[in-house]
Amino acid sequence: MQEKTFSDMGRAAALADPANAWITRSDKPVALGEAGALSGLAFAVKDNIDAAGFPTTAACPAFAYQPTAHASVVQKLLEAGAALHGKTNLDQFACGLNGTRSPYGPVPNAFDPAYVSGGSSSGSAYVVASGQVDFALGTDTAGSGRVPAGLNNIVGIKPSKGLLSACGVVPAAQSADCVSIFARTVDVAARVLHVAMGYDPRDPYSRGLHLADTAWPAAFRFGVPSTLAFFGDRAAEAAFAESIARLEAMGGIRVTIDYTPLASAAALLYESALVAERYAAVRSFFDAHADAVVEPVRGILADGQAYSAADLCEAQTALRGYGQQAAAMWRDIDVLLVPTAPTHYTVAAMQADPVALNRNLGAYTNFVNLLDYAAISVPSTMRPDGLPFGITFIGPCGSDWQLADLGQRYHHSTGLTQGATGEALPPAQPIAGIKAASEVPMIRVAVVGAHLSGMPLNGQLTERGASLERTTETAPDYRLYALPNTVPPKPGLLRVAPGQGSRIAVEVWRMPAALYGSFVALIPHPLGIGTLSLADGSSVQGFICEPLALAGARDVSEFGGWRAYIASLQAK
């Protein structure tokens, strides 16, 4: 086993050396067997996560201890056939987003050693990006499972809080902590999540969660913050604009959201009494050994000593208020899109201004755990300067599989290679927790007017994942009327006595049953849904109209359908 010594630390502190990514590396990987869902995969764990046989340092030699058991998540991964290769470097006590706050030295960016890797899970991201292991565990309190992924061209899953047990993990701010997963593909990261997740009563914040198992519709609605900051980095700004365009090309619908409550919540993490939880996490050690803690981590932990219990209550109430305000955005969007990190910084620049620049790297991350959201960071593009740019998809608690599904679709649309290895992406794989299309209950609904393809209300179908099955006609027992004073113009379809009607053109759409109720709720009086008879003798749900509403309406049955009638008006 290779473990850094104090003399190694002095050398490493002066250089952004690739060797800095490891704190302890085993000459013989730890394995419990070859069979299992993760058989053949190599992994590493951040050195604030226990692994029996390895010291846990949290990047503080004076704090180090020898655990007698694996952390819950490590045990599950080993039982699934993965092999543990060692422990990785981090910002001390997981306090930072840049990867330079460690006595074991700064961890370099996998593409340019002059730049930071991102933290606090810096070493875990580097060893994945450089191909030394297949996946790695990190932790994420304020973005530590996402920022390093975005800066190193890899995938970072930040699960819903409590989905992965934190038993055997040195806490940073326990109520907001998550174990995170790094991999070069979404497929591998999602497989690890599937194995590692589960309720653990030994973790006070563990919980049994129901995860959504249907993918977002093809015309998903993605939120984009109303205000965006890139701190003068035009390459990052252009890369984010490119990501928006790519999502729209994939069928996504952009929606601008008010970023104010999210930014306000993020600010509370370090600028309010919430920082007291950072101090509480290592209180006994810090009170006795403050001089063993590096700056600026020492100053951040010390700040937590100054707050009262009343101050903490006020901060928690303020956070709940911002959460209530932010919750409104989920009525309009399926997922939120943000840059994973707004810019890249050199190691030298970060060490010269460690507080302000670290805060900038967390511009789009700090609020996620505080507001109980899930997230995934995926690679997006390579900038002209050769540095990676990543984006993060954020969803409500329990949207983990949906995020993985969208993240994989997006990642594979980029044409990027894996991490810094230069290897092509393998074919996309089904996400374990997402139902196949054949497993999703569907309802057929026939539309006759403003919901037809290309008509003004067709979006109410497509945004619910509906797809056009066929174009056909009704049985010859219907008449079509142009309803007066409707916006947009709408028809009314009425069934009449045999021999008095016509065949009317309709489209039959397939819609996920779970979304059908929300579609029906949008239908205004006097229209409704009933059973329509089609020309082939089959029946389907479709639009009908109350007879009393047709007073003064024009009978347009002679046109054979609404599209032909509208075309006749436009030709005049």
C-alpha span between 94 and 453 (Å, rounded): 52
Q: Which residues belong to the active site?
A: 46, 120, 144
Task: Write out the two tokens for 142.
Answer: 């304020």
Q: Bridge partners of 388?
A: 382
349 φψ region: left (φ > 0), alpha (ψ -120 to 50), beta (else): alpha
Q: How many angstroms separate the CA atoms of 11 and 106, rounded?
A: 11
Q: In angstroms, rounded to a whole number, what is the distance separating the alpha carbons of residues 143 and 403?
A: 16
3 state DSSP class of 357: helix
CA angle 336, 338, 344 (to 5 degrees): 165
Interatomic CA distance for residues 152 and 122, integer angstroms: 10
Task: Copy the structure tokens of residue 456.
Answer: 């003004």
Nearest to 336 by CA among 442, 443, 228, 427: 228
Q: What angle do CA 44, 374, 515 make, to 5 degrees?
A: 135
Query: CA 502, 507, 509: angle at the middle one, nearest 5?
Result: 145
Tell me how far CA of residue 106 lies from CA of 59, 116, 121, 409, in angstroms.
Answer: 11, 8, 12, 33
Tokens at residue 214, please?
Answer: 């249907």
Q: CB-based contacts of 166: which residues, under 8 Å, 6+ apart?
A: 174, 177, 178, 179, 203, 205, 206
**CA distance linking residue 420 with residue 328, whole number of Å:** 39
Is-contact 58 94, C-beta < 8 A?
yes
CA distance 290 to 168: 23
Contact between 84 and 41 under an 8 Å Cβ cutoff? The reply is no
The helix (H) or strand (E) run that includes residue 287 is: helix 283-289
CA distance 331 to 13: 48
CA distance to 38, 52, 497, per residue, from 82 (Å): 5, 15, 70
CA angle 248, 251, 253 (to 5 degrees): 60
Alpha carbon 34 to chain centroid distance? 31
Taking each helix axis from N to C end, the angle separating 234-249 and 400-413, rounded to the nearest 10 degrees, works out to: 100
User: Under a CB-based contact definition with an 8 Å cutoff, are residues 198 and 307 in contact?
Assistant: no
Cα-flanking dihedrals φ and ψ of residue 400, to 5°?
-55, -45
Residue among 505, 546, 519 nearest 457 (CA): 519
